[in-house]
Structure 1
Amino acid sequence: MRIPADRWHWLSSPWWRGLVAVAVGALPALAFPAPSLWWFAYVALVPWMLLIRSAPTGRRAALDGWLGATGFMIAVHHWLMPSLHVFIVVLAGLLALLWLPWGWLVRWTLGGAPSVRRATAALAVVPSGWLMAELVRSWEGLGGPWGLLGSSQWQVAPALRLVSVGGVWLVSLLVVAVNTGVVVLLTAPAARRPVVAALVACAVAVGAVSAWAPRPEQTGRVRVAVVQPGVVSGPERRFALSEALTRDLAGRDPDLVVWGESSVGADLTERPDLAARLAALSRLVGAEVLVNVDARRSDRPGIFKSSVLVGPEGVTGGRYDKMRLVPFGEYVPARSLLGWATAVGKAAGEDRRRGTSPVVMTLPGGGAGGLRVGPLVCFESAFPDMSRELTRRGAQVLVTQSATSTFQHSWAPEQHASLAALRAAENGRPVVHATLTGVSAVFGPRGERAGSPLGTDASASVVYDVPLAEGSTVYVRAGDWPVHGALAVLVLLGAAGAVRALRRRAAPPPPGPPARTARASAARPGR
């Protein structure tokens, strides 16, 4: 049954239409933690795409794409509001500009009564356009890859198998393709049969990939302890509580103890007393302690966030300086221009300094001696390429040290922890996500949970039995090939459009009406 067109006359108002675009664009955020309605991702774009395809012009469709993306950016980052206040709307609007071409593509492929060819092509073109927007906004300076649509599938086993083949990008393509297929089924009766066939073929391909994708081979286990002190004010009190929780690990035989981000508030070279206390803890529990130092360095100017490995004799020399910083949280881009953000919200008053290269640390000694650990700091776990590089360098366990205490009662802690499952599946390596205040979680090399997570209400130290694996996933070997494929689709689309335009220009003009002959004129009545 079709709804009469006059039921939607109010959408002719640009203001009402704009508000609806923002609202329907925000819907996909419900597929992410904390709601975690993962199944909703496969239809969440449908209302937004239906609105775009009804746009009277390509310009209006692009505007609907921008407004909907603004709603999506605000919804998936809403927990930043206490820090950025109204500035989050400005940032969301700027990032959403990347969806202007996507809005135009949706109307171009699905608007009006799309032909079978156009509707079928939409299954490749629309997801490719979406992926390009995700790719560009994943650049660190634009906020990074938080809220990629494919990451909503972090707890779905078949999706994690796809992740091991093409990374989170491949799952984003799949999710958008299914949404596009639903729109075609609702709006293009003539194209339903080939689109259903294409979707069935896609489902068969997903099943085949899931069955074919090589699984990591388990090679043993390692015991990793996570220390989560909870909400504690002041670096000295935080250190003391983490120290007490670590002492509780004595006799439990961990191979590695991990503290969260900013767990140490002073350079250990300048505070030998803190270094000595950490070394004593290492001797007590019989394992190295990986801490995170957030402090001004004595050997280099500026403030760094650094993963530092401490053993029984003190700092072992294993140090990794955070390379990718959180815009506004740890530095202000173009501070001379945007420095006013520090007065509006809680933007960084001083820019932190960056590290220069990834580091794989090797645990010395017996037990887990020789275990290679790849550390990342907080925000860096969102970047697929960083964990992939550590894996390629030989990391057997990936460790993320994080702190989301500023956003303790929001969706942020659960969203952040879920990224560890994706990084584990992409690389075929276990991931330990250790935080100061929760959610801390550990995932095995297939993205499966390895023990119960520590929630935001926990103050505890827990030992996880973490499975190790060897071998290489397709994603580690081949990299971001779905991105290259999506780009190729759009290039071919542009080339086909250019060829059609040239042919139209070269074609002779259509013949005019035939000239009337004198005999025909004379034969007419009344002449």
Structure 2
Amino acid sequence: MKTLGRWLDSPWRRSAVAAVAGALPMLAFPAPSLWWFAYVALVPWLLLVRTAPTGRRALYDGWWGGFGFVLAVHHWLLPNLHVFTFVLAALLGVLWAPWAWLVRRFLGGAPSPGRIVAALLVLPSGWLTVELVRSWQGLGGPWGMLGASQWQVEPALRLASVGGVWLLSLLLVAVNVAVAVLVAVRPSRTPALAALLATVVAASAAWAWAPRPHVGGETRVALVQPGVVPGPGPRFDREEQLTRQLAGQAVDLVVWGESSVGHDLGDRPDLARRIAALSRETGAPVLVNVDARRSDRPGIYKSSVLIGPDGPTGDRYDKMRLVPFGEYVPFRSLLGWATSVGEAAAEDRRRGSRQVVMDVGGGLRVGPMVCFESAFPDMSRSLARDGADVLVAQSATSTFQQSWAPAQHASLAALRAAETGRPMVHATLTGVSAVYGPEGRRIGPPVGPVGTDASTARVYEVPLADGVTLYARLGAWPVYLAGLVLLALGLAEGGRSVRRPRRSAPERRVPPARTVRGSPARPGR
């Protein structure tokens, strides 16, 4: 250990180790999907930060670890954003610097049992605050939240219905902190063991007590995935061909992926007529997605448009939350150079102003989202509260076809379904397309997900549910709880600094004058 400590005395070696430690949680996300690893993935990072010799060094350890985390989870952006991916990772990595300072503050040295108990509350709260800040769509949105790694774990999905992905992140960090204490702080293991036991008991109680969605009835939804087809014209032809195969299959809704139509339907009424003909053939409305310059207003929009047997129904949703750099460049006057080093948007897309719930007939109501928006828990919650029976995400990840991005994106639909108690359809142009039931479980086999190598149309029998989950009712309450913990910490630290007596300067003692046989000494002698 002493040899390792001396090796880490080099700032650059320590920074490299911090970046690698911060990157480890990537293995818990798809495609590896080692969900169990999320319960210990932060331990190496925690152990490193607690040994930081100074608070300033802890800040650097947090920054470099955050850099590694962001770069690893978003590594599939590298072929498109190139060097700008490193710039983004460095900027976002700063968010973890204060969290690392708290790690050293509460776990550094030989922490007392009281400090360990405080760490088990403060450090998960600090991590959740970081996730909240970076969830702002201008900073990239909530992609790669630690709790999202549990998308295929049924008990975790049940907990998501209680507190959303926020609760899962909070519990995962608490477990990681407890494990780090058990590994490194031998004399004071009791609080960590108690915390692990309390987490298990609380999670089990929430799992048993949380109301389940009441499933009753079903609807038949068809997904049309054309595959990798270059150009909007050939893509439309392929989608038309696949949709015709659904005739006679008694579907209630046909869903095409994001950017499935490359022309505004006001400018191209011939395309609208062709889709309306498909609606008549299949006996179901078709939800398409138009990525084009609008004919009725300036700018390019990405819009979900519902088309029935007589043409567009008038139901339209314009995408509200755009992908930074992919669909617009934030602070373009300052960061516009990103278009010269990667595939950043040459022209900013325009934003919609409100979410929409569409009536597709037969009493079925759907809430559309477009691509990136399925990462935001509040958007699906809002649609469920507004009466959507089925959540729909139209996506296109063809730019990242051979990466981990398609599987990561599809996994988010499981969480949104579990959080709201509403089934969710994730339809893409090139895969991965999938459907999840109201408890977050993937529907299939025999149908199952549609991979990135498929060009097909598939019909899913989607169970419908009613009732309101606790998350849909209360929202992101774990975030508020984390805020209260950090507020209490701030008040306690402030009160301690006020009560601490100020140290006065020591009095200067003047040495007594020297005397020679009872007489004062003369100056200079």
| TM-score normalised by length of structure 1 | 0.94
Instruction: Work out the CA distance in 1 between the residues paired with 2:119 and 2:372.
Output: 34
SS at match of 1:12: coil
Instruction: Work out the CA distance in 1 between the residues paired with 2:237 and 2:4.
Output: 65
Letter in 2 for 1:159: A
Say whether residues 1:309 and 2:311 are aligned partners: no
Letter in 1 for 2:489: L
Say whether residues 1:466 and 2:459 are aligned partners: no
Instruction: Provide the aligned length of Structure 1 versus Structure 2.
Output: 506
In the alignment, which residue of structure 2 is the partner of 1:76?
73
In the alignment, which residue of structure 1 is the partner of 2:391?
398
Say whether residues 1:448 and 2:445 are aligned partners: no
In the alignment, which residue of structure 1 is the partner of 2:322?
325
1:195-243 C-alpha deviation (Å, 9 max, x unpaired): 2012101101100100000000012100000000000000000000000
Q: Is contact 2:393–2:427 with CA below 8 Å preserved after alignment?
A: yes
Instruction: Work out the CA distance in 2 between the residues paired with 1:510 and 1:121.
Output: 36
Letter in 1 for 2:498: L
SS at match of 1:269: coil
Instruction: Work out the CA distance in 2 between the residues paired with 1:505 and 1:462.
Output: 73
Instruction: Work out the CA distance in 2 between the residues paired with 1:337 and 1:481.
Output: 36
Give the deviation of 1:24 after TM superposition.
1.0
Q: Is contact 1:120–1:191 with CA below 8 Å preserved after alignment?
A: no
Say whether residues 1:337 and 2:334 are aligned partners: yes
Instruction: Work out the CA distance in 2 between the residues paired with 1:202 and 1:292.
Output: 43
Give the deviation of 1:121 after TM superposition.
1.2
SS at match of 2:426: strand
Instruction: Work out the CA distance in 2 between the residues paired with 1:69 and 1:453.
Output: 32
1:386-436 C-alpha deviation (Å, 9 max, x unpaired): 011111110010000000000000000000000000000000000000000
In the alignment, which residue of structure 2 is the partner of 1:199?
196
SS at match of 1:333: coil
In the alignment, which residue of structure 2 is the partner of 1:439?
432
Q: Is contact 2:179–2:192 with CA below 8 Å preserved after alignment?
A: no
Say whether residues 1:479 and 2:475 are aligned partners: yes
Say whether residues 1:497 and 2:510 are aligned partners: no
SS at match of 1:249: coil
Q: Percent identity over the alignment?
A: 69
Q: Is contact 2:106–2:119 with CA below 8 Å preserved after alignment?
A: yes
In the alignment, which residue of structure 2 is the partner of 1:414?
407
In the alignment, which residue of structure 2 is the partner of 1:269?
266
In the alignment, which residue of structure 1 is the partner of 2:152?
155
Give the deviation of 1:511 after TM superposition.
12
Instruction: Work out the CA distance in 1 between the residues paired with 2:486 and 2:112.
Output: 19
Give the deviation of 1:502 after TM superposition.
1.0
In the alignment, which residue of structure 1 is the partner of 2:252?
255
Instruction: Work out the CA distance in 2 between the residues paired with 1:511 and 1:386.
Output: 65
1:464-511 C-alpha deviation (Å, 9 max, x unpaired): 000000000000100011000001101101111111111113689999
SS at match of 2:325: coil
In the alignment, which residue of structure 2 is the partner of 1:428?
421
SS at match of 1:290: strand
Give the deviation of 1:269 after TM superposition.
1.1
Instruction: Work out the CA distance in 1 between the residues paired with 2:437 and 2:407.
Output: 17
Say whether residues 1:346 and 2:339 are aligned partners: no
Q: For residues 20-419 of structure 1, what are the structure 2 equivalents within 5 Å? A: 20-364=17-361, 369-419=362-412
Instruction: Work out the CA distance in 2 between the residues paired with 1:314 and 1:38.
Output: 45
Give the deviation of 1:120 after TM superposition.
1.4
Q: For residues 10-25 of structure 1, what are the structure 2 equivalents within 5 Å? A: 10-25=7-22
Q: Is contact 1:116–1:190 with CA below 8 Å preserved after alignment?
A: no
Letter in 1 for 2:474: A
1:28-73 C-alpha deviation (Å, 9 max, x unpaired): 0110000000000010101011110010001100110010110010
Instruction: Work out the CA distance in 2 between the residues paired with 1:324 and 1:356.
Output: 10
Letter in 2 for 1:465: E
Give the deviation of 1:349 after TM superposition.
0.3
Q: Is contact 2:116–2:191 with CA below 8 Å preserved after alignment?
A: no
Instruction: Work out the CA distance in 2 between the residues paired with 1:148 and 1:195.
Output: 24
Which runs of 5 or more residues in structure 2 are unaligned? Answer: 510-525
Give the deviation of 1:253 after TM superposition.
0.7
Q: Is contact 2:358–2:366 with CA below 8 Å preserved after alignment?
A: yes
Instruction: Work out the CA distance in 2 between the residues paired with 1:349 and 1:318.
Output: 29
Q: Is contact 1:137–1:145 with CA below 8 Å preserved after alignment?
A: yes
Instruction: Work out the CA distance in 2 between the residues paired with 1:263 and 1:416.
Output: 18
Q: Is contact 2:329–2:335 with CA below 8 Å preserved after alignment?
A: yes
Q: Is contact 1:150–1:168 with CA below 8 Å preserved after alignment?
A: yes
Instruction: Work out the CA distance in 1 between the residues paired with 2:399 and 2:349.
Output: 18
Instruction: Work out the CA distance in 1 between the residues paired with 2:503 and 2:194.
Output: 36
Show structure 1 runs of 4+ deviating over 3 A. Answer: 506-513
Instruction: Work out the CA distance in 1 between the residues paired with 2:471 and 2:502.
Output: 45
SS at match of 2:8: helix
Instruction: Work out the CA distance in 2 between the residues paired with 1:511 and 1:198.
Output: 49
Which runs of 5 or more residues in structure 1 are unaligned? Answer: 514-527
In the alignment, which residue of structure 2 is the partner of 1:457?
453
Give the deviation of 1:512 after TM superposition.
13
SS at match of 2:402: coil
Instruction: Work out the CA distance in 1 between the residues paired with 2:150 and 2:503.
Output: 50
SS at match of 2:189: helix
| TM-score normalised by length of structure 2 | 0.95
SS at match of 1:467: strand
Instruction: Work out the CA distance in 1 between the residues paired with 2:124 and 2:498.
Output: 27
Letter in 2 for 1:428: G
Q: Is contact 1:259–1:434 with CA below 8 Å preserved after alignment?
A: yes
Give the deviation of 1:8 after TM superposition.
2.9
SS at match of 2:500: helix
Q: Is contact 1:131–1:483 with CA below 8 Å preserved after alignment?
A: yes
Question: Which region of structure 1 is more displaced relative to structure 2, 188-197 or 492-501?
Answer: 188-197
In the alignment, which residue of structure 1 is the partner of 2:517?
none
